[in-house]
Structure 1
Amino acid sequence: MKRTYLFLLFLLLAPLSLQANPLTKDFVAAAKERTKQQVTYDSSYYTIDYPNGDIPGHLGVCTDVVIRSYRQVGIDLQKKVHEDIKKNFSLYPSKKLWGLKGVDSNIDHRRVPNLQTFFKRQGQSLKISKDPQDYRAGDLVTWMLPGNLPHIGIVVDQKTSKGERPFIVHNIGAGPKMEDVLFDYPITGHYRYGLKD
C-alpha cells in the first residue's frame, strides 16, 4: 500500500519536475548547436508572433543566439522580457536609449541593454573579473564593442587549447560562432538566468 501511494505521488509530481529550470548542459548544447546554422547578420525590425515569435531563422544578431538557445530548452525570453518591461517600463532603458513610450514585443527582447536589465532583475548579476574561472558554462556575458555597440554571448563548456579560457558562442556579424573572445572587449555584464546544474 505504501509503495502504491509513493508511486502515485511520483506520477502526480513528475510533470512538475519537468517544468523546473532546464539543465545548464542542455542550454550549452543548444548554444553550440546554433553555430551549425547559417545565419546572416540582420538587425532589422520585424513584426513577429507573440509569444514564441522569431524573425526568419536564417537571419539574426547576437541576441537571437541567446533567445533561440533559451527557446530550445523551453524558456521564451520574448514573453518573459515583454512581461517584465510591461510591468516595469521605467526600469528599462527603452525610453532613454531609443525614445520609446511603451513596450514592443517585436523588438524589446532583441536589444542587449534590455536583456541586461532583465537578467539583473530576474536572474543573477555576477561580478565582472579577468579570472576565466569565474565564468561558468551557461553564463551570459555582455560587452561594449568599438563604436559603443552592446554585444552578448553565451559561455560554453569547451575551453581554449591550453584550457585557459572558456569559449563563447555569439554572433558578432558572421553568424553564430564559438570563439575565444571572453576578454577581447570590455565586459559590461555577467549573468546567470533560468538554469540548474
Structure 2
Amino acid sequence: MKTFKHYILLTIAILALVVGYFYFSKTTTQETYRKLKKIPSQVETKINALNLNIEKINTLPPKEQTRKDGFSALKLTGDAKKQIGVTVNYDPAYSTISYPNGDVDIAKGVCTDVVIRAMRKQGIDLQKLVHEDMKAHFSVYPKYWGLHKTDKNIDHRRVLNLEVFLQRKGKSINVSKEKKEYLTGDLVTWRINDKLPHIGIVSNKTLRDGTPLVIHNIGRGTQEQDVLFRYRIIAHYRW
C-alpha cells in the first residue's frame, strides 16, 4: 500500500515539475520577446484595445486638425451653408460698397460672394487682401474689363481675379478627377459651358458614392448641390 501511495505522490510531483517547466518556459519566452521588441505589456494592451475598436473608429467622421492660424475648413462650409435660404437671388450688377468688409445686400449676390462671406466669418477679408495684392502687382491680374487701376467694389468679386490671387498665395492644389482629392472647405473653380467662370466651396456632405457636394450660387441663391464634376474644373485651392 505504501509503495502505491509513493508511486502516486511521485507521479504528481513529476507532473507538477513538467507543468511548471513549460509554464515558466512560455512566460520567459514571452517576456524575452517583449524585451527584444521593446514593447511593454501596457502598450500591447492598448494596441489590442484599439484593434478591437478599429471598425467603430473608421465609421466616425474625421476630426479636423487644429491649425496654428486658427482657420477651420469645417467652419468655412458651415458658414457657407448658413447663407442657404438667406441669399436667395443671383445678381451680378455692379454695386458701390464700403471698404474694407464691404458687401452687397445679403439677399443677393454672385458665386464669389458665397466664398467672401464665409471667409469673413473667420476674419479673412478677401476684398482687402485682393485689393492690396492687385495694387502691388496689378500687371499680373486679368485685363478683360478694360481697367487701368484697381476697383475696391468689384475686383474681389470676380472669379478670374480670385484665381490669380489664390495661386499667388500658394493655395493651389492639383486638379483631379478623383473625388477623394476634394476635401471639406476646398475651393474649386469651373468654366460653365467652357465660358462662364464659377467658384464654389466643397461641402462636408457627400453622395453615397463619396462625391462631395458643393456650396455655391449659380442662379437661385446659395445652394448645396451635386455639381463638382458637372462642369470643367479649372482650378482647385485649399486655404
Q: Does 1:170 align with 2:216?
A: yes
**Can you give the 5+ residue segments of structure 2 that lack an aligned partner in the other structure?**
1-66
2:132 pairs with one of 69, 78, 83: 83
Deviation at 1:103, TM superposition (A): 0.2
User: Partners in 2 of 1:104 and 1:70 — Cα distance?
Assistant: 20
- Which residue in 1 is equivalent to 2:174? 127
1:71–1:139 Cα change, 3 Å: same
Counterpart mapping for 1:90-105 below 5 A: 90-93=139-142, 95=143, 97-105=144-152
> Identity across aligned pairs (percent)?
51
Matched positions, count: 174
The normalised TM-score by structure 1 is 0.84
Secondary structure in structure 1 of the residue aligned to 2:80: helix
Q: Does 1:155 align with 2:202?
A: yes
Q: Does 1:106 align with 2:153?
A: yes
Q: Does the Cα contact within 8 Å between 1:30 and 1:73 map onto a contact in 2?
A: no
**Structure showing the higher helix proportion among its residues:** 2
Q: Does 1:145 align with 2:192?
A: yes
**Can you give the 5+ residue segments of structure 1 that lack an aligned partner in the other structure?**
1-17
Secondary structure in structure 2 of the residue aligned to 1:34: coil
RMSD over aligned Cα atoms: 1.7
Instruction: Give the letter aligned to residue 191 of structure 2.
Output: M
The normalised TM-score by structure 2 is 0.70
| Structure 1 stretches of at least 4 aligned residues deviating more than 6 Å after TM superposition | none
2:100 pairs with one of 48, 51, 55: 51
Deviation at 1:151, TM superposition (A): 0.2
**Structure showing the higher strand proportion among its residues:** 1
Higher RCO structure (Cα 8 Å, ≥6 apart): 1
- Which residue in 1 is equivalent to 2:79? 30
Q: Does the Cα contact within 8 Å between 2:88 and 2:221 map onto a contact in 1?
A: yes
Deviation at 1:36, TM superposition (A): 3.1
